[in-house]
A and B are shown apart, each in its own frame.
Chain A
Amino acid sequence: SAVISQKPSRDICQRGTSLTIQCQVDSQVTMMFWYRQQPGQSLTLIATANQGSEATYESGFVIDKFPISRPNLTFSTLTVSNMSPEDSSIYLCSVEDLGVAQYFGPGTRLLVL
């Protein structure tokens, strides 16, 4: 399976600021996704990161709050904008190649004060 890394691994941020999370894969993959996992909860899909076009967002998530980039088949970024304490979560990227299983990165643990 692909090796996925995320930066930063964790961060503490002040409300009103923005944080950009990077996801790097060691091989080209067709699909990349971003999830949020609130404390003690399951995983919620934020959006599909589309290479060369705008991301596809799930209900309840908007581009102004969570802008996403995917410049190539191995890299994507998620920005959490104008943060509030409610944005404190683990943010996970995942990859899927050619309809096979989905694999997750290690996550970025975000605390907003």
Chain B
Amino acid sequence: GENVEQHPSTLSVQEGDSAVIKCTYSDSASNYFPWYKQELGKGPQLIIDIRSNVGEKKDQRIAVTLNKTAKHFSLHITETQPEDSAVYFCAASIEVPGANNLFFGTGTRLTVIP
């Protein structure tokens, strides 16, 4: 089955700096890659996702890049703010309606220092 690795496990950045979280996956058939943000005491919130037919997607300060050849994808957060502090999870799946093939990474705890 799919194996998703995520690095780093913890990341501290100064407010205003950029943060990058990287994930690799093992199954070349995976075609959907969401990112979730989990704040303390809350459930995971979908913040951005990308499908394998594109290489990059942006939403304001957040961007995700995908390299299908190398089987890795990354989350980029620019101009970080203290409210970006949370645990971020990447995931990979083969999109099949009616089936759950979502495999999660181990998470990155991001701390933005004011």
By a beta-carbon cutoff of 8 Å, the part of chain A in contact with chain B is 1, 4, 30-31, 33, 41-43, 45, 48, 92, 96, 98-99, 101-107, 109
List the B side residues contacting A102 at CB < 8 Å: 34, 46, 100, 102
Structural contact, A92 and B98, CB atoms closer than 8 A: no
B114 located at the interface, meaning its Cβ lies under 8 Å from any Cβ of chain A in the complex: no
For the complex, give the distance between the alpha carbons of A1 and B36 in Å.
14
Which residue from chain B places its CB closest to the CB of A10 in the assembled complex? Answer: B41
* A106 with B42, Cβ < 8 A, contacts A42-B106, A42-B107, A43-B89 known: yes
Interface centre among A41, A43, A99, A109 (most CB of B within 10 A): A43
State the CA gap A107–B98 with chains docked (Å).
Answer: 23
Instruction: Given A42-B89, A42-B105, A42-B107, decide whether A106 and B43 contact each other with a Cβ distance below 8 A.
Output: yes
* Residue with the highest number of chain B CB atoms closer than 10 Å, among A4, A48, A102: A102
Give chain B residues whose Cβ lies under 8 Å from the Cβ of A107.
Answer: 42-43
Rounded to whole angstroms, the CA-CA distance of A88 and B45 in the bound complex is 22
Say which size band chain B's interface belongs to: 20 to 34
The proximity string for B residues 27-55 relative to A, scoring 1 for CB distances below 8 Å and 0 otherwise, is: 00000001010000111111001000000
In the bound complex, what is the Cα–Cα distance between A43 and B95 (angstroms)? 18
Using a CB–CB cutoff of 8 Å, the interface residues on chain B facing chain A are 34, 36, 41-46, 49, 89, 95-98, 100, 102, 104-107
A41 to B89, CA, bound (A): 10
Q: Which residues of A contact B105 (CB under 8 A)?
A: 42
Q: How far is the CA of A85 from the CA of B30 in the complex (A)?
A: 36
Chain A residues near B43 (CB-CB < 8 A): 4, 92, 104-107
Residues A92 and B44 in contact, CB atoms below 8 Å apart: yes
What are 10 A-B pairs with beta-carbon distances under 8 A?
Answer: A30-B97, A42-B104, A42-B106, A42-B107, A92-B44, A96-B100, A99-B96, A105-B43, A107-B43, A109-B41
CA separation between A52 and B96, bound complex, in Å? 21
